[in-house]
Structure 1
């Protein structure tokens, strides 16, 4: 295949654009913010689960306290009723004795219930503190996640801008090449990652391997418009004044 040496040299510009586009795509896939976001999402979920757990415990305690209050109110109501019966003077001696016994039982029951209620309220106070701490921890985790997402979006916006600009440049550049040369370049790039590279100081700019003397002799003898390729990686070897031929 033949192509004017000036046209071949322009392949280096195209290769640089493609290299930059490749770096953009690599950068897009490997943004440190992506790993940071993944870790932050896991942390956030763990903090959310912890908050749900303490909120559930707090809800259970509130329900237990309300039930305890209801029982205490029922005991107090029963005690008031008995005291009114006793004060009314309309009960006999046996019923009076029964009422006195029941009052003593109710008082003991109320004491137990109030002790239990106090313990529940103390536990609730501790769990409420845990809940407030868990909420603060979740807010902190959400803030870290939001910050990482913001930085990711900013980085992606910059990369998208670069990608759009260089892709537009590439569309204009490819129109400058003969179809057969461009097809060869694209095929090699698809297979090897780099379609064309500078021959510099006996080394291929794509694979960085030094070209042996026999191959260098053939290169020196080749016509300027001959399209040459690296025997190692297949990239189009572009000769310029830097090639030292």
Structure 2
């Protein structure tokens, strides 16, 4: 293939723009905020799970306390009824004695139930503290995530602006090239990532390999319009004053 040397040199400008676009795409996919968000997402899930567990524990204890309070109230009501009967003096001696025994039993039962209620209330206080701590942790992690997400969005906006600028630079560069030369460049770039490279000091800037003596002889003998490709990497070699020929 033959192409105007000026068009061949313009390939270097096009490649520089494409390299910049590739670097921007890499930065987009490897923003530090993305890794930070992944980490914070895991922490937020863990904090949310802990908050749910703590809330469940509080809810369970609230139900247990309500049940204990109801049991105590039932015992108190029964004791009050028995005491009223006992105080009235109605009934035989055996019946009154039975009431006294039952009141003693109810007193012990009430004491036991009140101890259980007190223990449950102490557990509830501890559970409420754990819930408050878990909720605080969840809130703090969510705030960190929101901040990281905002930074990510700001970085993406900046990258989009840079990409838009680079694409605006690329379009006229590509449009000014002959179709067959551009097609060859695009095909090579799709396979290797770099379609054209400068031959600088007898070295291919694409693969960083120095040309052999026979390769250099062929390049020296080739007309300026001849499109040269490196035998090792297949990229278009663009000759300039820095080629060392």
TM above 0.5, yes or no, is yes
Measured in 2, the distance between the counterparts of 1:133 and 1:187 equals: 59
Measured in 2, the distance between the counterparts of 1:50 and 1:198 equals: 59
SS at match of 1:199: strand
SS at match of 2:164: helix
Structure 1 residue 54, shift from structure 2 partner: 1.3
SS at match of 1:237: strand
Corresponding position of 1:237: 237
Measured in 2, the distance between the counterparts of 1:112 and 1:50 equals: 33
Structure 1 residue 92, shift from structure 2 partner: 2.0
Measured in 2, the distance between the counterparts of 1:101 and 1:204 equals: 106
Corresponding position of 2:132: 132
Question: What stretches of structure 1 of length at least 5 have no aligned partner?
Answer: none
Corresponding position of 2:165: 165
Farther off after superposition, 67-76 or 32-41: 32-41
Q: TM-score, normalised by structure 1?
A: 0.97
Matches within 5 A, 1:49-60: 49-60=49-60
Question: What stretches of structure 2 of length at least 5 have no aligned partner?
Answer: none
Farther off after superposition, 197-206 or 152-161: 152-161
Corresponding position of 2:197: 197
Measured in 2, the distance between the counterparts of 1:179 and 1:153 equals: 38
Corresponding position of 1:76: 76
Corresponding position of 1:28: 28
Measured in 1, the distance between the counterparts of 2:192 and 2:51 equals: 52
Measured in 2, the distance between the counterparts of 1:209 and 1:32 equals: 33
Contact 2:89 2:96 in 1 (8 A): no
SS at match of 1:238: strand
Measured in 2, the distance between the counterparts of 1:80 and 1:3 equals: 111
Structure 1 residue 7, shift from structure 2 partner: 1.0
Measured in 2, the distance between the counterparts of 1:107 and 1:126 equals: 29
Corresponding position of 2:228: 228
| Alignment length (residue pairs) | 245
Matches within 5 A, 1:53-132: 53-132=53-132
